[in-house]
Each structure stands twice: as structure tokens, then as C-alpha cells.
Amino acid sequence: MPLSFRERRKILKDANYLDLTPYHIFKSETDDKGLVTVLVPKFRNKLLAKLILPRLKSSHFKIKLDEIGSLAWQHIDGSKNVAMLSSELVDILGDKIQPVNERLPKFLTSLYLEGYISFNEIKKEGE
């Protein structure tokens, strides 16, 4: 049974953000410039998808990320924690991403709240 909002919130509140390990929930596409577009399904309910999707042009919303967001998304693989991601991003982007330990957690929090990513620690607690 999935964890409730309160249970997930408690896990995230008690955890050090740099120790969390993010992973993708949705698929993505990368264009020739290296920018990522996250593909979010328009309907998660299978019955609605079956009835309505044939009438639509696209079955996904397309969320486009900027250069820094795209690079962060590409480095999320479900095995690296946020501290490792931040050090990799600093190695690649240098001062362009500073202060990384403030910016990356805010970005990942917004992705989490929108439901684009989750964290392994939440998944493990729920199993």
C-alpha cells in the first residue's frame, strides 16, 4: 500500500536532503541541444486514457527544462544521492550553478511536488 502524504512528508522532513536519492517517474526526451523535455501522461487512469486519448493529438504534456535543469535531470539515475549530483554539476558547470546546495534541493523539491521524481528512501519505507 502506498504511503500517505503525511508519512512521506515525515520521511522527507526527518531526512538530510543531501542524503536522498532521486529517481525519475516519467520518461523524457533530449533534443539536439541537450535540453530535456519531460513527458507527463495526460491521464493516469487507464479507463479515461482509453476513452479520451484517441481523440487527442498527444497523449503527454511536454515539460521543457532549461540547461541546468536538463543537466540535473540527465544525472538523476536512482543510484546517486543529491550530494553526489551537486558535486557532478559543480564539476561540469562551475560557478554558473553556485550556490548548488541551495539551488539543487529547491529544484528537486519542485520536481517532487509536481510528481516528476521521487526518492528511493520513500519507496523503501513504503515496501
Q: Among 38, 39, 91, which residue's Cα sits nearest to residue 66?
A: 38
Q: Among 38, 37, 93, which residue's Cα sits nearest to residue 68?
A: 93
Distance CA 43, CA 49 (A): 5
Distance CA 24, CA 117 (A): 5
Tell me: the pLDDT tens digits for 93-112? 888 888 888 889 899 988 98
Which tops the pLDDT comparison, 115 or 52? 115
Looking at the structure of the chain, the number of domains it has is 1
Cα dihedral sign for 126, 106, 17, 26?
positive
Tell me: the pLDDT tens digits for 54-90? 666 667 788 899 999 999 999 999 889 999 999 999 9
pTM of the model: 0.78
Asked if residues 22 and 121 have their Cβ atoms less than 8 Å apart, the reply is no
Domain that holds residue 56: 5-126
Largest CA distance in the chain: 49
